Amino acid sequence: MKISVIGCGYLGAVHAAAMAQLGHEVIGVDVDASRIEALAAGQAPFFEPGFPEILRAALDSGKLRFALAPASEELADVDVHFIAVGTPQSEDGKAANLTYVNSAVDMVLKALPSSDTAAEAGRPVIVGKSTVPVGTASALAPRIEAAGATLLWNPEFLREGFAVADTLHPDRLVYGLPQDAERAKTGAAALERVYAPLLAEGIPLIKTSYPTAELVKVAANSFLATKISFINAMAELCEATGGDVTELATAIGYDERIGNKFLKAGIGFGGGCLPKDIRAFQARAEELGVESAVSFLRDVDAINQRRRDRVVAQAIKIFDRKIENAKITVLGAAFKPNSDDIRDSPALEVALRLADAGAQVTITDPEALPGVATRYPQLITEADVLTALTGSDLVLLLTEWAEFVNIDPVQATELVGTARIIDGRNALDPCIWQGAGWSYAGLGR
Ligand SMILES: NC(=O)c1ccc[n+]([C@@H]2O[C@H](COP(=O)([O-])OP(=O)(O)OC[C@H]3O[C@@H](n4cnc5c(N)ncnc54)[C@H](O)[C@@H]3O)[C@@H](O)[C@H]2O)c1
Ligand SMILES: O=c1ccn([C@@H]2O[C@H](COP(=O)(O)OP(=O)(O)O[C@H]3O[C@H](CO)[C@@H](O)[C@H](O)[C@H]3O)[C@@H](O)[C@H]2O)c(=O)[nH]1
């Protein structure tokens, strides 16, 4: 099939290469010229394990190409257009900014051939993958149908760091379909052809309405965020009582109804998804007059923000408030390991707040430093972790990359000025670090 992917960021670029790997003829389109140039040359514009390999294989096979928006000619004879542009938090509130979705849809509609036959068949199909407020698909559909196309919403659940595997082997596929039965049938059939190899694997498929599909996505992210904030709330209780949240998490996680995933207490969640999605959900619920149904998300967000405050306060307290010019080393800038994404990164925010307080902060990260160095000159960036540790008065482990978790505390003792560490991800063994002469503080343990 001929497929387009509009928006080639963390989601779209991987989706485009993955669809080419499934055997489709794919055109990736973006408004960012440097991004298109890099992708067309086989260079991944961001760090995502396994992506460079599938990108190059797809380009070599001739199945994948990239074009700068509006790419009207390239889009004219496409069967399925995937919309994968960003839906960031608005600058002036919690709601999602839908500007990019609207312009991507406009661009596709302008490129469509105005043939009556296409209109009658209800094709091509436009498939929303971006995370949007419930009601977006219903609002877009009339315009799309009037242009002779059909709209489906097919939310994406990939995790950064596992994007390739999650795209090619997702836990489930969700199709939000139009109300009109004929349109729904044609649209679903087109998407079933796109995903045929996945469906043949037995991946569960849920066919539902637009609003349910949109809600599934934000409900899933809200649940995950709530789980993390729940365990971080328990960390606060452990801090007040001398409990150990890591042992508590292990113990409750043995109950299969609870499960042991997403129960890692620490400095909380960040990234380009969970924080903005729980806020957009609250804003949309408010518009719909059902704000109280998700008012708990305000607490989820507040608990999450408090973890960042807590670790900043912990660091300042260590220096007895005399933090000016203290040499602090922050291990990690990305919002999580195996990603270079610094959007709403808890690690980066803590580093910046300590620098604001007057500390001399050196930050290291295996992949995220280029984005930090260009935007945050107040931080010292150091690629070599051992150099970053040298002469440090306090080390903070804030993103649990394997290379940080595997640091030899005995070797590190020789490098630092004072052997003091705050483990913001509870990722280290306190006994081993204390045994090597470190003063160790976790979060909630
Ligand atoms: N990143 C993830 O892990 C992930 C997972 C699931 C869902 N999502 C959702 O997917 C969407 C995209 O997220 P992302 O992380 O890939 O964002 P991103 O910022 O990495 O990428 C968005 C891309 O869209 C491009 N773009 C903007 N307007 C455009 C237009 N009119 N035409 C063509 N390209 C345009 C931008 O230049 C950018 O390259 C968001 O709604 C997000 O919530 C993301
Ligand atoms: O027990 C845990 C698990 C995660 N985190 C943090 O939570 C954040 C988000 O982690 P994760 O969910 O793995 O990352 P994302 O790549 O942002 O993926 C989420 O957001 C995507 C975009 O919507 C969804 O597609 C995914 O299903 C959803 O997991 C990160 O800062 C993690 O450090 C914790 O603090 N404790």
Residue 174 belongs to a domain: yes
Domain final residue pick, 249, 268, 302: 302
Whether 154 and 282 map to the same domain: the answer is no
Whether 319 and 295 map to the same domain: the answer is no
Binned at pLDDT 50, 70 and 90, residue 120 comes out as: low
Residue 211 belongs to a domain: no
Q: Are 235 and 444 in contact (CB under 8 A)?
A: yes
Q: Would you please indicate which residues are annotated as catalytic (active-site) residues?
A: 273
Any atom of ligand 2 within 6 Å of the Cβ of 335? yes
Domain that holds residue 77: 2-203
Q: What is the CATH number for 137?
A: 3.40.50.720
Q: What is the mean pLDDT of the chain?
A: 97
Whether 27 and 176 map to the same domain: the answer is yes
Q: How far is the CA of 203 from the centre of ligand 2 (A)?
A: 22
Q: Are 414 and 204 in contact (CB under 8 A)?
A: no
Whether 243 and 148 map to the same domain: the answer is no
Q: Is pLDDT above 60 for 439?
A: yes
pLDDT at 115: 58
Higher per-residue confidence, 325 vs 302: 302
Q: Is pLDDT above 70 for 118?
A: no
- E strands within 337-406? 360-364, 380-381, 394-397
Three-state SS at 328: strand
pLDDT in tens, 239-280: 999 999 999 999 999 999 999 999 999 999 999 999 999 999
Q: How far is the CA of 160 from the centre of ligand 2 (A)?
A: 8
In the numeric block, which tokens belong to residue 408?
């030899």
Binned at pLDDT 50, 70 and 90, residue 119 comes out as: low
Residue 411 belongs to a domain: yes
Whether 188 and 315 map to the same domain: the answer is no
Nearest CA to ligand 1 atom 30: 104
Arithmetic mean of pLDDT, 364-384:
97
pLDDT in tens, 64-75: 999 999 999 999
Whether 157 and 235 map to the same domain: the answer is no
Whether 13 and 155 map to the same domain: the answer is yes
Q: Which of 332, 336, 387, 330 is nearest to 362 (CA)?
A: 330
Q: Which of 228, 368, 404 is nearest to 305 (CA)?
A: 228
The kind and range of the H/E element at 441 are strand 439-441
Whether 141 and 162 map to the same domain: the answer is yes
Residue 216 belongs to a domain: no
Domain final residue pick, 285, 302, 319: 302
Q: Is pLDDT above 90 for 432?
A: yes
Please state the pTM of the whole predicted model: 0.97
pLDDT at 114: 73
Structural domains of the chain, count: 3
Arithmetic mean of pLDDT, 88-112:
97
Whether 278 and 326 map to the same domain: the answer is no
Domain final residue pick, 284, 302, 320: 302
Residue 215 belongs to a domain: no
Residue 213 belongs to a domain: no
Residue 220 belongs to a domain: no
DSSP-assigned letters across all residues of 119-148? HHHT-SEEEE-S---TTHHHHHHHHHHHTT
Binned at pLDDT 50, 70 and 90, residue 113 comes out as: confident
Whether 297 and 359 map to the same domain: the answer is no
Q: What is the CATH number for 259?
A: 1.10.1040.10
Residue 127 belongs to a domain: yes
Any atom of ligand 1 within 6 Å of the Cβ of 344? no
State which ligand 1 atom lies nearest to the alpha carbon of 12.
Answer: 16
Whether 36 and 182 map to the same domain: the answer is yes
Whether 338 and 263 map to the same domain: the answer is no
